[in-house]
Structure 1
Amino acid sequence: MTTINELQVAWENSGQVVSDAQNKQMKMAIQNAAEPGKFSDEELSAVKKDVEDKVKARDFAKDALDGARESAKVIKPKEVNGAPAFIKGSKEAREQESKQKTKDFVKYFVGMAKSGQSFLDDAPTSVVSTDGSGSDLGLTIPPDIQTAIHLLERQYSALEQYVNVENTSLPSGTRNYEKLETLTAMTDLDATAAPNSSENTAIPEGDYPELQKISYTIHRFANTFAMPNTLLQDSAENLLAYLERHISLKDVVTRNQKIVSVLEAAPTKASLTVFDDIQDLILNTLDPVVSSGAFLFTNQAGQASLAKVKDANGDYLLQPIVGQPTNFQIQGRRVVQIANRDLPDISTGVHPLYFGDLSQGVTLFDRQALTVAASNVAGNSFDNDQTKVRAIDRFDVEAADNGAIAVGSFTAIADQPAKIVVQSAS
């Protein structure tokens, strides 16, 4: 299965191929202008066609990458009896079917809750999911409700939006990622060869990119919460809003915790006490290639502490981003604030401060099989006139490149010593 990472590499490589071909074309153009007729018409045409072919290949790779990224953002409907579960036709027809699926979901969800069962035999196959073992899992969340849940998740400080997300339909698998390592320079043949014998010098073999294999195994994450039965008699909109809010909150907390656990395992850690320690974290911990796209993030308590730190001129360490007065930066690096509940202190009074490019360092493998089940008799639901709702999500989070993330911690950052201004005597 082709991954987004492979498409990214293919696009980048094709861009270099185009650049090399264009450079060759420009050199020939310069030479041909200086010496008209130096190259035959066939040679000039061949070079021109070569550039055009490579540009087409590059653009095709970019289109494929954009398509894969777009597919990763959209929850695709499952197939029903081998046919796609959507209507191929007008936009209005697709919207109508989406609304119908939402109505079906609400209908059968209410049916589950009122009957006290977790599964209805007459539920449409497009909204029923099993894990392959024959056990009933309830109702699969329809695509439009999935999208609404994902939009809510972004509002709840979801770290998922910053990491690399790969959708998968398999319960486990492996991926190969290129590691950042110290490359050695190529051998200077003429510097070591005897006079007039450089043509006979054997060329030594160079080093190769180092790949690391990352394995993932999809885990099930589940929880239950109580829903007042009065909602079952209320409108479908209110019922869906309740489900979307509670499922999204549960999902954000769950995924954030797994992402943070991967971040905490990063090998580069620093204890920050003074202003310049933050400068070192930004400028001297990550490879420049990774650092160029990196940002800082901490929790509410950490940002509140950083907001009080001043430099030697008396200016605050945190500076608002131009045009975004509620967002802040340090030395041009954006600072992302995560809620204390989602990114807790490392210990009492010790705040986390991460720096890195999470899209390079962490991959979330998403099975995209969020399901719900309901019962009005489970636990104490019957006595409390409630319906218990169970939500199950399936995903895994793995470190892709530990060298793309640096971990820091601090209790308080000392101000920079104020500059001493010496005034001349009058």
Structure 2
Amino acid sequence: MTNLGPVAPEMKSGSADLAALADGFDEFMATFAAFRDENDQRLRDIEQRKSADVVTTEKVDRISEALDRQKRAIDEFVLKRARPALGRDGQKGVADLEHKEAFESYMRSGEEQKLRTIETKDMSYGSNVDGGYVVPQTIEAEIGRRLAEISPIRAIASVRQVSGPTLRKPFTVTGPVASWAAETGSRTKTDSPVLDQLQFPTAELYAMPAATPSLLEDAVVDLDQWIVSEVETAFAEKEGDAFINGSGTNQPKGFLAYDQEDDSTRSWGEIGTLDTGEDGAFAATSPADKLLDLIYALKAGYRQNAHWVMNRKTQAMIRKMKDSEGNYLWQPPTSAGARAMLLGFPLVEAEDMPDVAAGATPIAFGDFKRGYLIVDRAGVRVLRDPYSAKPYVLFYTTKRVGGGIQDFDAIKLLKFGSE
């Protein structure tokens, strides 16, 4: 009998660790087989009776939810196994070790003098208008790496680090200007390209993890790892929503916040959409056709690195669909940590995507590495606050991040409407 509970492999080491992961993935595949069998029965009921058996439908939905839980549990386990400890002392230079020791002293006791000396020596300023000190590079790099693993859009978009508050990126409105000429023929002057500029301002993202005095006094506790683990999820959740729905005011601009227009009539600066033909639903007949249309709305060069982006509820709806030959459109990942596939393209689950509703755009498809740019300003800062929440010590941790669309041809949306 298939266990429909979430997979939660016990954290072990070595071969036992890998065995637990393998068992969890086997359980996931067994659940998918059970889902496929029950959904086949549901479809047969619809063909024979024009409606599905209520008990069968409820069972299909229950198994589908179990698949989601098990996939999330496996992904979390893979992520934890992939997290190495921050750099060992033998792998660091003298300057890095000095910065790490000074930063740890500041975290534990509030001693600032060593950090002040180091940052003055490095020709950087110790405190900005919000106060705080720059964390060692190893911690900043680890925060960035983990965000890329758990933030769905960051994992597939382009990421660029800058030192200033805004990244300005020029682009040609008219496209490249070129002409043909014979080997010995004269070269006529080409038209000058029309240039414009995209701007990606960075905004402050912050978290305030709290520590007890006993934790800070415990010499065994690795404070580098503690601060990274405390802020990674908070940062990832806020980023994930902003990269999709952000307004662009004091936060990144999400790709759903741009103007949307039918793909056949859109212009630069607008995201192209395709309609399903039904308000709040797929078409009653051949619903997969619209997914195929969305794939081929992209130019061939963009399809090579394209991903689907949708939330769990939309994925569960598509998971029940078959093509004209009876094959399921949604296919499970081939290994633990891999992505599920939809019509041959990887699927990214982003819970901040909207649910299926009339006029909504809950499905995105495109090359997000070419289409969406995330801008990180160098430097993660920490300000120690032992006063605001006594007896706890707060660590006001900030980073500056921006984002927006850099290529409007690279992303398409499926709109659940008839116009």
The TM-score with structure 1 as length reference comes to 0.59
1:277: how far off? Answer: 0.5
Distance 1:184 1:368 in 2: 35
Please show how residues 174-323 of structure 1 align to structure 2 within 5 Å.
174-178=168-172, 211-235=195-219, 237-261=221-245, 262-264=254-256, 265=258, 266-272=270-276, 273=282, 274-283=287-296, 285-320=297-332, 322=334
Q: Specify the SS of the correspondent of 1:377.
A: coil
> Is the 1:298–1:351 Cα contact (8 Å) retained in structure 2?
no
Query: What is the match of residue 195 of structure 1?
Result: none
The partner residue of 1:164 within 134, 142, 158 is 158
Query: What is the match of residue 94 of structure 1?
Result: 92
Query: What is the match of residue 34 of structure 1?
Result: none
Residue 395 of structure 1 pairs with residue 401 of structure 2: yes
Q: Specify the SS of the correspondent of 2:323.
A: coil
1:178: how far off? Answer: 4.6
| Structure 1 residues 404 and 180: alpha-carbon distance in aligned structure 2, compared to 1, 3 A threshold | farther
- The size of the alignment, in residue pairs, is 297
Distance 2:394 2:194 in 1: 50
Which residue identity does 1:355 align to in structure 2? F
Please show how residues 37-48 of structure 1 align to structure 2 within 5 Å.
none
| Structure 1 residues 327 and 235: alpha-carbon distance in aligned structure 2, compared to 1, 3 A threshold | same
| Structure 1 residues 325 and 396: alpha-carbon distance in aligned structure 2, compared to 1, 3 A threshold | closer
| Structure 1 residues 93 and 144: alpha-carbon distance in aligned structure 2, compared to 1, 3 A threshold | closer
Query: CA offsets, 1:104-139, max 9 Å, x none?
Result: 211111223xxxxxx834534435897799636212
Which residue identity does 1:354 align to in structure 2? A
Q: Specify the SS of the correspondent of 2:209.
A: strand
Distance 2:232 2:179 in 1: 52
Which residue identity does 2:299 align to in structure 1? D
Which residue identity does 1:388 align to in structure 2? L
Q: Specify the SS of the correspondent of 1:162.
A: coil
1:218: how far off? Answer: 2.5
The partner residue of 2:365 within 350, 355, 362 is 355
Instruction: Structure 2 unaligned segments of length 5 or more: list them.
Output: 1-88, 246-253, 259-269, 277-281
1:321: how far off? Answer: 5.2
> Is the 1:131–1:137 Cα contact (8 Å) retained in structure 2?
no
Residue 108 of structure 1 pairs with residue 106 of structure 2: yes
| Structure 1 residues 155 and 230: alpha-carbon distance in aligned structure 2, compared to 1, 3 A threshold | farther
Query: What is the match of residue 372 of structure 1?
Result: 382
Distance 1:187 1:292 in 2: 29
| Structure 1 residues 99 and 361: alpha-carbon distance in aligned structure 2, compared to 1, 3 A threshold | same
Query: What is the match of residue 423 of structure 1?
Result: none
| Structure 1 residues 99 and 184: alpha-carbon distance in aligned structure 2, compared to 1, 3 A threshold | closer
Distance 1:122 1:184 in 2: 56
- Aligned-residue Cα RMSD (Å) equals 3.7
